[in-house]
Structure 1
Amino acid sequence: MSKLDPSFYSQIKEILLSARNKVYAAADFAMVEAYWKSIVEKQGGEARAEYGTKLIAELSAKMTLDFGKDFTVANLQNIRLFYLTFPNFYTMCGKLRWSHYRLLMHVDSRQARQCYLEECAKAGWSVRQLERQIHSFFYERLLSSQNKCEVSAEIQRTAPAEQPEDIIRDPSFSYR
């Protein structure tokens, strides 16, 4: 009877977890791209859509039948806001998920939003960690700090490790 070498198993486990993370991230970013390209881009990128809320309601009803309950009027309006907040797809980051972008859309300052986006991608913040940093004014603390490295290091010490299961719960909309 052979005994499984723990280090061998550990290596296999790490490979599988890494692959799972890559698949989750790729799937979620593909959905982010689909959201970005959806409603507003197909309407010519108009900030104020001429089609009004009646069309959004009709689109919501039809998409809910075809794709499930996540395509409510409010979610479609979030998709519009997403496009208007991030008009250049090339500036977006494949490391962030839809839930990250939903938080970032509500950061008023373009500079602060970009800072959060970059820090989040660089440090691998979870959605919960990004939300905590926005609410604790990380950007403002970083700007006013003499020691920017210490402010960033503080965040890493308080960030909980993200599990693969946390990455995608629903490929359409993730509301963590």
Structure 2
Amino acid sequence: MEPTATNQLAQRISELLTEARGRIVQSVNHTMVLTYYEIGRMIVHEEQNGNERADYGKQLIKTLSIKLTADFGKGFSQRNLEQMRQFYLVYSKAQTLSAEFESDDKPVKKFQLSWSHYLKLMRIEDVDERNFYEIESYKNNWSLRELERQYNTALYTRLSLSRSGSQVRRLAKEGQLLQKPQDAIKDPYILEFIGLPEQSTYSESELEQKLIEKLEHFMLELGTGFTFVARQQRISFDEKHFRIDLVFYNRILRCFVLIDLKIGELKHQDIGQMQMYVNFYDRRMRLPEENKTIGIILCQDKSEAVVEFTLPENNQQIFASKYTTVLPSKESLVKLIRD
């Protein structure tokens, strides 16, 4: 067999094994989570038989921990058993991805994430917010670390504050859906992953370079469906040359997304420049079957009045959003979002 053919066969076998291992891990995770859910159910039902006395419940978990640890080793501490009990209490009502389905006439929970994910999720008190993060974790294959980051940067709050009541309820049931340009916009964008101090003096090119170095993180912050196209893309007409900082394409919205980075406060000239970029893409780059180009200006500060009166009333293409390069405190983040 030729070396090239051998390498191709090895590659196909490697892909098959990787896929099989992934399915095995997913199956093990699902079985483990279901088992913990059932253990939690059994503990709660036993407590109810004991009239839900607090001292009875504590003694029950303590005794179970001793017996189960002796039989099965680590993993059944009092703390772990309490978490299984809490897991059942939180998820015993039908939830989005964890809704019940029938199997041999017995209702079974369908859990799609790892136990570590659920340990984080069940600490989120608001049911709608918890549902949202569960859906987004599954849809986007978020690791536990990414789930924690998205929660810590208040993704649900950032999205929900710009939506009506019915749209917020839809977020809780279906996660983030991209159906129109506004659905892809956040304000503010949290860019703490690039490692630039908030008060540090840096140029727009340095900010751009940091975003490129952390492109995977930046695309997660941008949201679902984004693919990277170019940086500093040159466009020319009438012997004049301009460069667009970052160009993306969104597969769901089926349109180009242009991003311009601005240090300091947004000026009306910046909006006009982005309008020119968007017009160029719409007239020279966009295919007939694609939707109109979106332009996002990321700035440190902006006047809503400047944005409002520079853009046309029916604007659906140009958006200005603040960004911060550090993760604010919870109080500061809420104020930043509401302002």
Quickly name the TM-score band, shorter chain normalised. Answer: 0.7 to 0.9
Residue 149 of structure 1: which of 163, 170, 184 is its match? Answer: 184
CA distance in 1, matches of 2:220, 2:75: 32
For residue 141 of structure 1, report the CA deviation from its aligned partner: 1.3
In structure 2, the residue matched to 1:122 is: 139
CA distance in 1, matches of 2:148, 2:26: 19
Q: Which residue identity lines up with residue 30 of structure 2 in the other structure? A: F
CA distance in 2, matches of 1:7, 1:100: 37
CA distance in 2, matches of 1:37, 1:140: 32
CA distance in 2, matches of 1:49, 1:6: 63
CA contact (8 A) 1:36 1:79 kept: yes
In structure 1, the residue matched to 2:21 is: 20
For residue 88 of structure 1, report the CA deviation from its aligned partner: 3.6
Q: Which residue identity lines up with residue 29 of structure 1 in the other structure? A: H
CA distance in 1, matches of 2:111, 2:17: 20
Asked whether 1:33 is paired with 2:34, we answer yes
CA distance in 2, matches of 1:40, 1:54: 17
For residue 94 of structure 1, report the CA deviation from its aligned partner: 3.6
Mapping for residues 10-159 of structure 1, pairs under 5 Å? 10-41=11-42, 43-44=44-45, 49-50=52-53, 51-88=56-93, 90-91=98-99, 93-145=110-162, 147-150=182-185, 154-155=219-220
Q: Which residue identity lines up with residue 38 of structure 1 in the other structure? A: I
In structure 2, the residue matched to 1:164 is: none
CA distance in 2, matches of 1:110, 1:36: 18
What is the TM-score when the length of structure 1 is the normalising length? 0.77
CA contact (8 A) 1:60 1:71 kept: yes
Q: Which residue identity lines up with residue 25 of structure 1 in the other structure? A: Q
CA distance in 2, matches of 1:14, 1:156: 29
For residue 2 of structure 1, report the CA deviation from its aligned partner: 4.9
SS of residue matched to 1:44:
helix
CA contact (8 A) 2:34 2:111 kept: no
In structure 2, the residue matched to 1:163 is: none
Structure with higher RCO (Cα < 8 A, 6+ apart): 1
Higher helix share: 1
Runs of 5+ in structure 2 lacking a partner?
100-108, 164-181, 187-217, 224-339
CA distance in 1, matches of 2:58, 2:43: 16
What is the TM-score when the length of structure 2 is the normalising length? 0.42
For residue 45 of structure 1, report the CA deviation from its aligned partner: 8.0
CA contact (8 A) 1:123 1:156 kept: no
Q: Which residue identity lines up with residue 143 of structure 2 in the other structure? A: S
Larger radius of gyration between Structure 1 and Structure 2: 2
Q: Number of paired residues?
A: 157
Higher strand share: 2
CA contact (8 A) 2:43 2:85 kept: no
Q: Which residue identity lines up with residue 141 of structure 1 in the other structure? A: R
CA distance in 1, matches of 2:46, 2:162: 39
